[in-house]
Amino acid sequence: MTTPAPAIDCSHLTHRYGSFTAVDDLTLQVHRGETLGLLGPNGAGKTTAVRVLTTLTPVQQGEVRIFGLDTRRNTMDIRYNIGYVPQQLSIEAALTGRQNVELFARLYDVPRTERTERVDQALAAMQLSDVAEAVAGTYSGGMVRRLELAQALVNRPQLLILDEPTVGLDPIARDSVWTQVDRMQAEFGMTVLLTTHYMGEADALCDRVALMHHGRLQAVGTPAELKATVAEHATLEDVFRHYAGSDLTETGTQSGGMREVRSTRRTARRVS
């Protein structure tokens, strides 16, 4: 029997914006059923890498396979198997919670006969049934993130990719997002790839973490393994400092920096 292909098999991926290299020769596998946390300072290249893995950004150099399928050739098949929550908020504020999820159900070709039931289930799983008929513009930040998860889960993806799903949320809202993801993972055996700046969250949730800095993969392993390489009694935050260093001069183009700040502000405004 041949072993099944990994959920994500990323080999020598390089991505450039003009002459600037945002992802530099990234080789990384994510096993089926595991939760892998992609960590790294602002500008490390996490979102760029994640967008290539979702097929939203085409591969420039290297090779990416999702469940054995080549992202260059099997783009649509791969998209049907992926649920993605982007870093920037993606809901439609003028639509109700239910309409937002229905939109995704249609986009992902959930069969018409199953649609209502699936949308109901996704909303219920994210504990949004009571507010499903309210316009999403009235939701709190935590509710918006849970609505995006409901959208990402409505097609029952085998792979869930979350780019900073809990940024700006209070601890209770964060817990609630992770409880729901955990439950869905236990139920459907999903593979989860997430990025986060909360080291405690990564430590608690991830089977393995991968640390990026300046577009390069610096370290990958279980939280315990990585901590052991740094020092006795080290925390994941110590690991982060060790590999990301103390240089806080963010890499990248100036326009990129401005863009990041603008998008973060926009996110913050919409969440508040």
Ligand X SMILES: Nc1ncnc2c1ncn2[C@@H]1O[C@H](COP(=O)(O)OP(=O)(O)OP(=O)(O)O)[C@@H](O)[C@H]1O
Residues at the contact surface with ligand X, assessed by CB under 6 A: 17, 22, 40, 42-48, 87, 251-253, 256-257, 260
Interacting residues toward Mg ion by CB under 5 A: 46-47, 87
What does the alpha-carbon distance between residue 46 and residue 44 come to, in Å, rounded to a whole number? Answer: 6
Comparison of 127 and 263: residue with beta carbon closer to Mg ion: 263
> How many Å apart are CA 181 and CA 190, to the nearest integer?
9
Pick 13 or 184: Cβ nearer ligand X: 13
42 binds, among Mg ion, ligand X, none (CB under 5 to 8 A by kind): ligand X
Query: Which residue is at the shortest CB distance from Mg ion?
Result: 47
Q: How far is the CB of 72 from ligand X (least distance, A)?
A: 20
Nearest approach in angstroms of CB 260 to Mg ion is 8
To ligand X, the closest distance from the beta carbon of 201 in angstroms equals 14
d(CA 205, CA 38): 12
Instruction: Tell me whether residue 254 is exposed, middle or buried, using C-beta atoms within 10 angstroms of its C-beta: 0 to 12, 13 to 18, 19 or more.
Output: exposed
Residue 161's nearest CA partner among 242, 46, 272, 240 is 46
CA atoms of 142 and 122, how far apart (whole Å): 16
C-alpha–C-alpha distance, residues 129 and 147, integer Å? 10
Residue 127 or 264 with smaller CB distance to ligand X? 264
- How many angstroms separate the CA atoms of 164 and 271, rounded? 13
Smallest separation (angstroms) from Mg ion to the CB of 144: 18
* Residue closer to ligand X (CB basis): 32 or 216: 216
Question: What's the min distance (Å) between Cβ of 267 and ligand X?
Answer: 10
Query: Are 82 and 151 a contacting pair, CB within 8 Å?
Result: no
State the Cα–Cα distance between residues 12 and 36, nearest whole angstrom: 18
Residue closer to Mg ion by CB (options 47, 151) is 47
- Residue 54 binds which of ligand X, Mg ion, none (CB < 5-8 A, kind-dependent): none
